[in-house]
Homo-oligomer: A and B are copies of this chain.
Amino acid sequence: MAYTDLQSLLREMLVIREFEETADKLTLRGKVPGGMHNSSGQEAVAVGVMSALAADDVIATTHRSHHHTLAKGFTPNEIMAELFTKATGVSKGRGASMHLGDFKRGHFGGNGIVGAGVGIAMGAAMGIHQRGDKNVSVGFVGDGGLNTGRTWESLNMAVIYKLPFILVVDNNQYAVETFVGRVTGGNDPAKRASGFGLPSFNIDGNDVLEVQKYTAEARERAVAGEGPTFINALTYRYNGHNVGERGQYRTQEEIADWREHKDPIDRFTAYLLSTGDMSQADLDSMKASVHAEIEAAVAFAESSPEPDLSTLTDGVDSGLLGAK
């Protein structure tokens, strides 16, 4: 994905939405072993961040990572195939929904463990720092990860070594069924982070240009050797934590309010139409091409082979130590 113009931001958000809603249905039909975490509603965080990064920047993310992975430039094909645990998936079918990644393309993995991606991304930033490279590393975490100790250990380490690191909280306000305000002392993520001595911001995670701007500024500081930045991007997840889940933990009114009045795609669409950066015709053809792209991804995933059973224990280690 190259974000050369404003329309490309919108298109990527549409790709994510269509991917997620399609994959959600396929999951309900049993196509995605282990289920999946739908990111619909959170597109602007992923696209805003990635559009401010360079291709060789590194990310590491969470259990909810389709949007980050698509926005990072991975194809719907390889991700859908991975959800189906097919051999053509980005993780060769070993990872399903939670474990997308390819280090060579700067994606250091989704993660089954809350907070683990923060540490990995911080470590990547240390690698960048050691090499004297001019790229940056971004760690994603949910609001739930704000209460995981290692998030703060890693942030502190990035501060003291001035690592080129950006911590992005993809704050959809719930951890499974738990509202962030109920379990997060102080309930002000940027204030909490600033106590660790770094620039820290609470931003509108449903405004793709705001996310892009804060990320770009953070990236500039990081590359200039000024160390890490903390960005808490407020957003909302429309669907259940895992596919098919509903729960009584939030009202239908709350969901409707976010969907109808704060949707990141609707907002940005209206903006582009109003500024004239996009015509209705552009939009229609964009939607059609996105739809075709996701349909093709499903066909690709369906027709792809399963990983061979003979590969069951391949690649546990390099083999160079001589283990049988």
Contact = CB atoms under 8 A, between A and B. Distances in A.
Given A195-B191, A195-B193, A159 B185 contact: yes
A117 to B, nearest CB: 15
A178 B21 CA distance: 52
A197 interface: yes
Contact of A153 (B148, B191, B196): B148
A192 interface: yes
A1 interface: no
Nearest to A189: B195
A315 interface: no
A303 interface: no
Interface centre among A148, A150, A160, A194 (most CB of B within 10 A): A160
Contacts of A153: 147-149
Contact of A160 (B156, B183, B196): B183
A262 B155 CA distance: 34
A322 interface: no
A188 interface: yes
Interface of A: 147-153, 155-156, 159-160, 182-188, 191-198
Contacts of A195: 186, 188, 191-195
Contacts of A185: 155-156, 159-160, 196-198
Instruction: List the 8 closest A-B pairs by CB distance, nearest first.
Output: A149-B149, A186-B197, A159-B185, A192-B195, A185-B197, A195-B195, A185-B196, A149-B153
Contacts of A155: 185
Contacts of A184: 156, 160
Nearest to A156: B185
A49 to B, nearest CB: 22
A259 B102 CA distance: 57
Contacts of A151: 149
A159 B198 CA distance: 23
A197 to B, nearest CB: 3
Interface centre among A152, A184, A197 (most CB of B within 10 A): A152
